[in-house]
Structure 1
Amino acid sequence: MLSSLRMTLLAAALASAFPALAQETAGAAPKADAAADQKMQKVEVRGTADSYDARRDDTATKIVVTQVEIAKYGDTSVVDVLKRVPGITVSTPNGRGGEIRMRGLGAGYTQILINGERAPGGFTIDSLSPDVIERIEVLRAASAEFSTQSVAGTVNIVLKKTVRSGQREFKLGARTGSGFQGPTANLQLSDKLGTMSYSVAASVMAEQFSRRGVSDEQAFDPAGQPVQVRHADGHEDGRLKLFNLAPRLNWTLEGGDTLTSQSFVNSARFRNHNQDVNTTSLGPATPYPVLDSAVRSDNDVLRTELNWVHKMADGAKLDVKASLIGGQNTTDNRRWTPPGAARPIDNLVHLEADERGTTTVGKFSKTIMKDHALGMGWDGGYSRRTDSREEFEAGNRVFPALPKGEESESRVGRLALYAQDEWNLTPRWSLYLGARWEGIRTTTSGNTFATGRSRSSVWSPVLQTLWKIPETKGDQVRFAVTRTYKAPSFQQLIPRRQTSIDNRSTDPDYAGNPDLQPELALGFDASYEHYWAEGALFSLSASTRRIDGYTRYLVDFDGARWVAMPMNAGRAVTRGVELETKFPLKAVMKDAPAIDLRASLSANWSRVDGVPGPDNRLDGQAPLAGNLGIDYKRAALTTGASFAWKQGGQIRVSERQTTTLQARRDLEAYALYKFNPKQQLRVALSNLLGQDFVNRGSFAEEGRGLVLREARIEAGPSLRATLELKF
């Protein structure tokens, strides 16, 4: 009775804290992959490990994408894997890379983690090979163990952990498509040697590409008469090389303790050359009729961690992890005109970034009283990042007074403390209560701006509950209330300007804003789930987020040049509804073939205060997105297809600026044929509809009128073939 009273009071205290808990904060780092711990707790209460299903049984809502699903289409980038996950869309403006979005929200609203931690600056998620990933966890609502910097949700990518005795696998593949081609290779090794076990996952990819892009720009005076028409024809050539390595060592110590060492190495090399030929049929000519540009970028990331798990009396456990993280990025951007140009230019910008950091994470977990899984822990760290920018014109330094260019240094110290209790009130009703405090201290200094210091914190209570409806076998309801936030990035805070060559409203300079404040969000989630056969699911969910201090980029003329700068622009509200179903055809037809079907549909609405309507929505948010998939297996052949669709629409960014979200349709197909237990061939086709990548926007420019711009990058179908061998 006393225990129940204490938990009731705790729930009431957390609930009452939501309206008034927002303290301003700047970034914090995420932590803690506790899936295994939750799984063990669930096994003790709900049954055997074989019957455990994280999606169905965990109180905290979670979707787990297994390694089998990750490898199905033979993707070379994890971004391509995620676009088939329900509730996730991928924004790819130019056909390379992509931004992962939950609830249609990207730009930092969706938290991306690797083994529960953020990667150093400069690392891009599209450079991560699916072959080094064990599973992907999609958390729709925040939890106390992870950072609450997850307004839309969290995608946690867990690297290879499973050890299989005598595993030896090698994959050799090739990719080709409209304007690109290249080989891929992957190696998987794992084994057990007494009390020690190990695993190694390595992946390499190389690609050469050549593609064409065109853009058109038109300007109209206040009366609607055209005053300018420009056309640009561009051609890009380049190459890309990626390397991933994920080694892991495990030791079982006396008394049941374990010690694990895991590292991750990522290396990316990108080179390209682009030439734009501009023609003007009306109005003043562009200052650079022919402009060449080239990018040379090298990025390296290293992360290594040591994890000790100590089993204590009465089922208690202490899990402690220490990590070292480092990253380095070097980029050269060069732009030049051909000899004899009326307005010659030869501009080179050299950028260097270096980041070093260390983290320590700990968690104590214990089952207390009856049906209470208590957990508490910490997450602390320190990082130092240095950036430099040197600019040269015709080989001469643009700022001679700065012999080493523009330099900046950022130091971040952070600490997070949390506690959580997962309580099974009845066999059909469970409750998750958590609270997390995150504090951060940031110092940013440079030789072109004043030193800035900030200290802030946020207090985030979290409540999630799962109720299995009585008198049913597979019906259940979930509800969650969360307080989350989004902190400004270093690039958004540093007031250093990045210049454009042909400066105009549609191609402005960029500058950070040291006065930028964090965004704070209050969220509610509710869902109904129906499990009606083995492997069959129907789910309907709804969510809402109120975001205070919403950040958007505003373009303005400072008297000399057009500049885009992030600004806090009031409040935004977003709402969404998601529908998902998946089932084997045998669930509805007794003698049906081995066909699995899946479908999902998500609708999003949003409104930004301070921007006049209509279409004053959150930037880049797709109003409607859907996915259809089918898999078929017969004897040695497995095949399937997936169709992803995203609705377009116009978005008003400010009183004078709009962007147009292009509708997107992606059709893919794959086939896997097993010659024998040790040899198989996987073939996949993507972008079968051959859709180009299109970007549109407009700006009402003073003295010039309405400016419309459209850019198109040509694309076509692609083919991937991979031979998979076990030895």
Structure 2
Amino acid sequence: MSFPLPLRPRAIAAAVAATVCTALPAHAQVLTTTPAVEEKPPAKAETAPEKIQKVEIKGSSTAYDPRRDDTASKIVVSSEEILRYGDTSVSDVLKRLPGITVGGGGRGGNDIRMRGLGSGYTQILLNGERAPAGFSIDTLAPDSIERIEIVRAASAEFSTQSIAGTINIVLKKAVKTAQRELKIGTGESADASNPFANLQLSDKLGSLSYSLSANAWRYRYDRETPTEETRMSADGRLVEVQRSRQHDRGSPEGASLNLRLNWTLADGDTITWQTYGNTQHNDYLGAQAIETPVGTPPRYTERTLQEDARNTFGRSDLNWVGKFANGAKLDVKLGTHWMRSRGLWEEQDYRFATLWRDADIHSSTRERGVSTQGKYSTPLVPGHALSMGWDAGTTWREDARVERDAALPGTPPDNADEGYQASVRRLALYAQDEWDVTPRWSMYVGVRWEGIDTTSEGSTFDTVRTRTSVWSPLAQTLYKLPDSRDQLRLALTRTYKAPAANNLIPRRFTSTNNSQTEPDRRGNPDLQPELATGIDASYEHYWAENALLSAAVSMRRISGYTRQGLFLDANGRWVSAPVNDGSAVTRSVELEAKLPLSAVMKEAPGIDLRASVSRNWSRVEAVPGPDNRLGQQTPLSATLGIDYKTRDAKLTTGASFAFRTGGPVRIDTNQTGYQSVRRELDVYALWKFSPQYQLRVAVSNALGQDYFYDNAYRDASGVRRRAGTYAGYPQGRATLEMRF
């Protein structure tokens, strides 16, 4: 919709158009008469500035907000929010966002979850693309991120491997003003230290703009982890107790670089080249001692461990955006990625101080891939935004593992030389249309087809080829209620979860002391995708600027549910492998509130409040209850945050409290687990000494809560249980930020 404002500057015209699109008809009449006010005689010209000022204020208050105005439901987290606590990992940023929980015990391997579901149900994208296998988002420096998009209901433009939802991490690309910033800092806790540095550079040189982000860090830790394993007979007698204490010490370190160049051509087309890379090195030393006060000792009672591992990852994309007549646009991207890792694992296993096994394991992994994405959009019909596109790529992976056991007296060597090669080819085609049915009612429909072809062959298994494809019809709608700022959303989706390539390859990874709670692991080439049909509905109330109340409900019905099966093989070893097992249902309710104090009182201090609560239920039909939750789902999570800024903006401070429940989980008929309850309090303060210098301090996990886990296996012979505790400590962090 457009209006004739020939005498206005472009900024005012945009503000007026945004205001009219969302205002009542009466407002539109007021705004469209403002040009006549400017042409009144000079005697009344003194009233004109008031009219102009009112138009600008209205335009500002109703400026485009993707969360409020997009038909497809989306939450956008700005760079300011990402950097608020001075976090050094993306996981720490995500744990404070509404509807998101982060699993794990804070010692790596964090599992990002939406609707409480992890294990691949939540899709993580980097610049709109699925990150390669093995890539960790915690290798990204938060300073290199422009925004984070939380997409609850799937859209055709992104991959529909998003049963729980999608988190899209967008690296910095827009260059608004020249920036030269250096950050140096360190984090300290009772068992770890984490010095780091970050450099940000950006500027414009005519039609060329560039941005560069460089980051370096080191993490040193020294900690102990106690574990206890017990076995009860069928009649309830305690027949075995094993207590172990493992001492871990390491010093991983790494660096990353993100470079982006933007060219604006004479005809308005743009060309963008972006390259991201990181490298990591990890030195690790470990020692474990097991004592058995009751029962038979394990095969090995002491163990020393040492690892030297190096990993390098890179990604480069070339993106062209061409503009055509009548508002049509073509967006084409070509990309490549590569990954290389090498490791040496040395293990000495003892039985009562006598060396029984001395093994060296050399591993090497190499991955490379090419990809292309494209999107053509055109306003083919008035009021419609029609687009269609593709997403294709091929990845090649080579993995080698050589194990050499020293020939000790009386012990035959157990040497192994394993390797495999795998290729993954994927193709996706989609089309979507978004249109305004009325000024208050918009619709979105889309369809996406995705196909994946995986081929693998290795030295210990035959060639395996797996092909899967999924059609995903999608629909979303947004209706803004008349005479209010309330609105309703509804979405119908079909999504899926494809098996990870590693879960399809029938290669075995053996455990040292094999048991039901410490089994071997291998893939399953017969694994099929999980398919989900879902519905999402939400109510949103925008009752003041930056003030929000929302309630959302959702349900997913999943077929082909995948779980970790456990069985005893012909050689008498326990093996864990993924299997498809029936169907499952999950339901969620999410409440969110954002309240600037200025929305309820005049001359209020600069205080912003925010809160969210998520309640999740699920049931796996093939697993008997109770507690047969899907993917070890988090039943309840909540966040509460407060931020304060002085009137002169020299001091900003705040706190965030994140809570999630846990409890027992029924994995299958024989296996159970326990999820630890988490209470995490983070606080921060930012002092701006001058436009060039500021100091940011923060404390994470201020409550110092430990993380507890408990796994059990039950059968006719009794119960075997394994439990352990990861000690949690508060970490203080200080960052000096300098602009030059």
CA distance, structure 2, for counterparts of residue 451 and residue 623 of structure 1:
41
* Correspondent of 1:505 among 506, 510, 516: 516
Equivalent residues of 1:504, 1:561 under 8 A apart: yes
Match of 2:132 among 84, 96, 120: 120
- Structure 2 distance, partners of 1:701, 1:614, is 17
What does residue 540 of structure 2 align with?
529
Q: 2: CA distance between counterparts of 1:449 and 1:424?
A: 55
Q: Which residue of 1 aligns with 2:651?
A: 637
Shift of 1:699: 0.9
Cα RMSD after superposing both structures: 2.0
Q: Select 1:719's aligned residue among 732, 735, 740.
A: 732
Structure 2 matches for 1:18-417, cutoff 5 A? 51-93=63-105, 95-337=107-349, 341-342=353-354, 344-394=356-406, 405-417=417-429
Q: In the alignment, is the contact (CA less than 8 A) between 2:119 and 2:631 conserved in 1?
A: no
Deviation at 1:676, TM superposition (A): 0.6
How many angstroms apart in 1 are the aligned matches of 2:332 and 2:631? 40
Distance change in 2, residues 1:416/1:345 (3 Å) = same
d(CA) in 1 for partners of 2:215, 2:64: 31
C-alpha distance in structure 2 between counterparts of 1:242 and 1:398, whole Å: 36
Q: Establish whether residue 709 from structure 1 lines up as the match of residue 722 from structure 2.
A: yes
Spell out, residue by residue over 1:3-48, the C-alpha distance to the aligned partner (whole angstroms, 9 max, x if none): xxxxxxxxxxxxxxxxxxxxxxxxxxxxxxxxxxxxxx99996697
Inter-partner Cα distance in structure 2 for 1:93 and 1:715: 8
- Provide the rounded CA distance (Å) in 1 between the counterparts of 2:326 and 2:620: 52
Q: Extract unaligned runs of 5+ from structure 2.
A: 1-16, 24-58
Structure 1 position 647 matched with structure 2 position 627: no
User: How far apart in 2 are the matches of 1:121 and 1:330?
Assistant: 16
Shift of 1:153: 0.6
Give the aligned partner of residue 689 of structure 1. 703
After the TM superposition, which residues 403-442 of structure 1 pair with which residues of structure 2 at under 5 Å, given as runs? 405-442=417-454
Aligned ranges 1:528-607 → 2 under 5 Å? 528-559=539-570, 560-607=572-619
Query: 1:7 matched to which residue of 2?
Result: none
Q: Take 1:490 and 1:224, find their aligned partners in 2: how far apart are those partners?
A: 42
Alignment-mate amino acid for residue 172 of structure 1: I
Q: Is the 8 A contact 1:178 1:715 kept in 2?
A: no
Listed one character per residue, the Cα deviations across residues 559-597 of structure 1 (whole Å, up to 9, x for unaligned) are: 411111101011011000000001111222334311100
Give the conservation status (yes or no) of the 8 Å contact 1:523–1:546: yes
Q: By how many angstroms is 1:369 displaced?
A: 2.1
- 1:294-337 CA-to-partner distances (Å, cap 9, x unmatched) read 33322211110111111101111111110011112223333213
Q: Which one scores higher on RCO, CA 8 angstroms, separation ≥ 6? A: 1
**Offset at 1:285?**
1.6
TM-score, normalised to structure 2, is: 0.90
How many angstroms does 1:657 deviate by? 0.7
- 1:671 is the counterpart of 2:682: no
Give the SS at the match of 1:149: coil
> Secondary structure of 1:451's match?
strand
Gap change, CA 1:512 and 1:339, over 3 Å in 2: closer
Separation of aligned partners in 2, 1:184 and 1:623: 36
Specify the code of the residue in structure 1 equivalent to 2:516. Answer: S
3-state DSSP of counterpart to 2:632: coil
Whichever of the two has the greater Rg, that structure is 2
Please state whether the residue corresponding to 1:51 is helix, strand or coil.
coil
1:575 maps to amino acid: R
Output the amino acid matched with 2:524.
N
Q: Map Cα deviations across residues 65-102 of structure 1 (whole Å, 9 max, x no partner).
A: 11000000000000100001100000013532411000
Which residue of structure 1 aligns with residue 10 of structure 2? none
1:439 shift after superposition: 1.9
Structure 2 CA distance, aligned partners of 1:44 and 1:202? 43
- Cα deviations across residues 87-134 of structure 1 (Å, max 9, x unaligned)? 000001353241100011111110101111122222212222111111
Aligned length: 683
Identify unmatched segments of 5+ residues in structure 1. 1-40
Quick one: structure 1 residues 143 and 648, their matched pair in 2 at CA, closer, same or farther if it must change by over 3 Å?
same
Q: Aligned letter for 1:135?
A: R
TM-superposed deviation, 1:700: 1.2
Given that 2:305 and 2:347 are in contact with CA atoms closer than 8 Å, whether structure 1 keeps it comes out as yes
**Could you tell me how far apart the structure 2 residues matched to 1:651 and 1:616 are?**
6
Question: How far has the Cα of 1:390 moved from its partner?
Answer: 1.4
Normalising by structure 1, what TM-score? 0.91
What one-letter code is carried by the residue in structure 1 that aligns with 2:710?
R
Code of the residue aligned with 2:722 in structure 1: it is R
Structure 1 residues 43, 338: CA separation in 2 closer, same or farther (over 3 Å shift)? farther
SS at match of 1:104: coil
Report if aligned partners of 1:79, 1:97 keep a CA contact under 8 Å in 2: no
Q: Which amino acid letter does the alignment assign opposite residue 684 of structure 1?
A: A
The percent identity for this pair of structures is 52
**For the Cα contact (< 8 Å) 1:42–1:58, is it kept in 2?**
no
1:452 to 459, 464, 478: 464
1:706 counterpart letter in structure 2: V
Aligned to 2:45: none
1:121–1:355: 8 Å Cα contact kept in structure 2? Answer: no
Contact 2:269/2:322 (8 A) holds in 1: yes
Aligned to 2:7: none
Which range moves more in the overlay, 234-243 or 387-396?
387-396
